Amino acid sequence: MTPKIPTILIADDEKNLTKIMRKFCEREGYAVHIANSGKEAIGILEEYPCHIAFLDLNMPGYSGFEVLEKGLAIRPDCYFILMTAQDSMENTIEAMKKGAYDYLSKPFDIEEVKFLIEKVMKLLDLKERVEELRTEIVGDSKENLIVGKSAKMRELFKTIGRVAASDTTVLLLGESGTGKELVAKSIHYYSSRVGKPFIKVNCAAIPSGILESELFGHKRGSFSGAYGTSPGKFQSAEGGTIFLDEIGELEYSLQGKLLRALQEKEIETVGESRARRIDVRIITATNKDLKEEVASKRFRDDLYYRLNIFPILIPPLRERKEDIPILANHFVNKFREEMDLATRHITDGAMKVLMRNSWPGNVRELENVILRGMLLKRSEFLSEEDVDLAVEVKEGAGGVVSFEDAVREVALQFVEEGNNDVFMKLTERFESSLIQAVMTKTGLNQSKAAEILGISRNTLRKKLEEKE
């Protein structure tokens, strides 16, 4: 399924080297173009769809680095491999930073060339197969779309692309509502496991007494109430990805079993003595400080190090506010299509209100605000008055309101909505915002946050669990 005749560019002013490489590549069945200068290499890339380009670092005209940068703009799907006799750490790092696929130090053996070409051919074949599978599940793409164009989100997209190409374990970190599940789905969606199951397990939502059988399965009669045999989530995810959300809530007795699944690629079903081999990628997520959990002996250190191989921090919405307009419009379009609602546009006034809010509940909170406004308004424009915020911010001197005014605004809003328990609702709303603010300030460190708030750590944990 790779290209019928893969095309290779060899750009080097050493004619003896290009002759040897050309002879080998043509013997292997590849189409070959030779360039003796950087300018000539650019011309070939502009004219021919090359799949691999070997570039000498020091060529007349443009250097290998310059050809690499221009070439990536012309042929972003081409795999560029730099060659040089001036081998150094700086050159290698610079090449990879600029987007080179690999780096060859002269003199090199033709077997090294063969190895790299074969690696690229396998990648091209894999890309084609993944694209074919992806076209079969396009209905999933809108549902799992991650929206954003800020610098932080562009970096996140790059990270997703890098980690999706491997099978390594991933730990997603971030506040509640930042979109950890969407990131997990995207990693699965852009990986070679795309056609296989994606299974989500919320470790905090399943009672501890049944979580083991939910994860690893059980045999009939293995415990009271086990009237049938269940394969469990790991076996259901065979060949695909299992996403363990709220991994910090996994009870200590089960952490060893998860460690075995990671290290040995095998699980033990409840009621069975033999181990079962599994082929499952594991992605986990938490909004807890796992280092602190390890220090407090609530989380195994060996499991933490296994999970923390590739951590990805998902930024909160307040750190990427330039994404709010595109997110808000995305949600308007989404709900208009899904629920046949009338709203098509957000007024400038409403957008200003959205931009001013701190969004302690992140993207999930923004989505809920847009949906509520659309359900209540049912007209073409979503105005400032329709946007229901946790703390409504009115325009004033410098756009700042006093705490008393903010409380008054929200209280009046509750009264207008016909609520009787205004005191409790108001207290819960501000308590949630206060806890979120302190947790963010302390980098999700519960001990420090509890100390600042003047409450016990257990009380804070309970309130965070209630908020989830």
Kindly report, residue by residue over 41-63, the tens digit of the pLDDT.
Answer: 999 999 999 999 999 988 888 88
pTM, to two decimals = 0.58
Average pLDDT over residues 117-144: 62
3-state secondary structure 420-439: CCHHHHHHHHHHHHHHHHHH
* Domains of the chain and CATH, by start: 7-132 (3.40.50.2300), 151-315 (3.40.50.300), 318-467 (1.10.8.60)
3-state secondary structure of 383: coil
Q: CB neighbours (10 Å) of residue 31?
A: 16
Sheet with 310-313: list strands edge to edge: 198-202, 241-245, 281-286, 170-173, 310-313
**Cα 132 to the center of its chain, rounded Å:** 22
Read off the pLDDT of residues 392-428 as tens digits, 9 standing for 90 and up. Answer: 433 333 344 445 555 665 666 666 666 667 677 777 7
Q: Supply the DSSP string of 317-328, one letter for each residue.
A: GGG-GGGHHHHH
pLDDT of residue 395: 36
- What is the largest distance, in Å, between two alpha-carbon atoms of the chain? 87
- Distance from C-alpha of 73 to C-alpha of 76, rounded to nearest angstrom: 6
pLDDT above 60 (res 329): yes
Greatest mean pLDDT among 177-181, 374-378, 438-442 lies in 177-181
**Cα 353 to the center of its chain, rounded Å:** 28
- Distance from C-alpha of 154 to C-alpha of 241, rounded to nearest angstrom: 24
